[in-house]
Amino acid sequence: MSASCAMLGFRSRLLWAVRQFFQAEGYTEVETPVRLRTPAQEPHIEAEPSGSYWLRTSPEFHMKRILSAGLPKIFQLGPCFRRGERGHLHHPEYTMLEWYRTGTDYRGILDETRRLLSFAATQVLADSKEEHAERLLHALQADWAVLSVREEYTRRAGWDPFSSFDPDRFDLDMVNIIEPGLPRGKPAVLIDYPVQCAAFARIRQHGQSAERWELYIDGIEIANAYSELTDPAEMRRRLCENARKSRSAQQTVYPDDKNLLAAMDKGLPDCGGIALGFDRLAMVLARSNSLDEVMAFRE
């Protein structure tokens, strides 16, 4: 086994705490297919083939179809798969916590994430006598550092990715300069990304930034949130652009998810959504150094 029995107990309490939070908030827990005909087309994210299907890299598209069908608050806890990702913070199979809420945006999701983490951490850490647990709990309940991507790059990396975007430099500086310099001992949020990093986030009206944020705890990326893109024409354009990028990088190009596009044509309500790496959350709350310590098995 990879994790200790004590860690599996900790992880189980954290799972329960998350479910308890969403139940109290009036959310519906959903389960969507793991084997997909049409995984999301995103640059740098590759799906693991499974027969004539692929394993999901994210439950995002099916969950959006449920929103469009009428459920306003949904969450899902389940496995996701990403081909070729392995490291102390990556594993090709991991547990994703993903939730969506209509009638809100990325700021609303940020408030909700704060409340979720304070609640869940209290449930799993309140009885701990360790000093770090007390400090972390306090930090999660206090104000989080919310830092604009533009300011962080301008101040620390010496360039403004909003005035001339360079994707390679953006990623290298993110890993080598921005992430290592994020505040430690408290949650930090990088907010408002260049439009080139919008993924499936809405672009702010009259603005040049994507309504997206990422949560870090102790420099480790935990979650990624959007004001979700709801415009089907813009969604088609981005999927097409992603397919073009994947093709030129000699990555697999998947068929279009026509069901998602049809649901968006019918109407996807304004909503905010977030994907949170459950294993990494368990890792930072338990103060582990590697995913190995919080995953029951590593294949």
Partner 1 sequence: MYTASDLRKGLKVQIDGQPWVITEFTFMKPGKGQAIYTCRLKNMITGSTMTKSYRSNEKFEPPALEERDLEYSYPEGDNYIFMDENYEQVMISAEVLGNSRFFLNEGVSCSVLFFNNQPIEVTLPTFIEKQIIYTEPGARGDTATNVLKPAKIVGDYEIQVPLFVNQGDIVKIDTRTGEYADRVLKA
Q: What is the DSSP string of 48-87?
A: PEETTEEE-S-SHHHHHHHHHHT-SEEEEEEEEE-TT--B
Residue 247 is a binding residue for partner 1 (CB under 8 A): no
CB 159 → partner 1: shortest distance, Å?
Answer: 16
Q: What is the DSSP string of 239-255?
A: HHHHHHHHHHTT---PP
Of these, 35, 37, 86, 244, which contacts partner 1 (CB under 8 A)? Answer: 86
What mask, x for binding partner 1 by CB under 8 A, covers residues 102 to 141?
----------------------------------------
| Residue 36 near residue 57, CB atoms below 8 Å | no
Whole-angstrom distance, CA of residue 146 vs CA of residue 28: 29
User: What is the distance, to the nearest Å, from the Cα of residue 286 to the centroid of all Cα atoms in its chain?
Assistant: 20
Residue 184 is a binding residue for partner 1 (CB under 8 A): no
Burial 61-79 (b: 16+ CB within 10 A, else e): bbbbbbbbeeebbbbbbbe
Token pair belonging to 211 = 């309504």
Residue 176 is a binding residue for partner 1 (CB under 8 A): yes
Of these, 34, 43, 203, 259, which contacts partner 1 (CB under 8 A)? Answer: 43
DSSP 8-state secondary structure symbol assigned to residue 2 = -
What mask, x for binding partner 1 by CB under 8 A, covers residues 142 to 171?
-------------------------xx-xx
Residue 44 is a binding residue for partner 1 (CB under 8 A): yes
Residue 92 is a binding residue for partner 1 (CB under 8 A): no
Stretch that binds partner 1, among 18-26, 63-71, 86-94, 124-132 (CB under 8 A): 86-94
Token pair belonging to 188 = 């930090």
CB 178 → partner 1: shortest distance, Å?
Answer: 8
Binding site for partner 1 (CB under 8 A): 42-45, 84-90, 167-168, 170-172, 174-176, 179, 197, 199, 214, 221, 224, 249
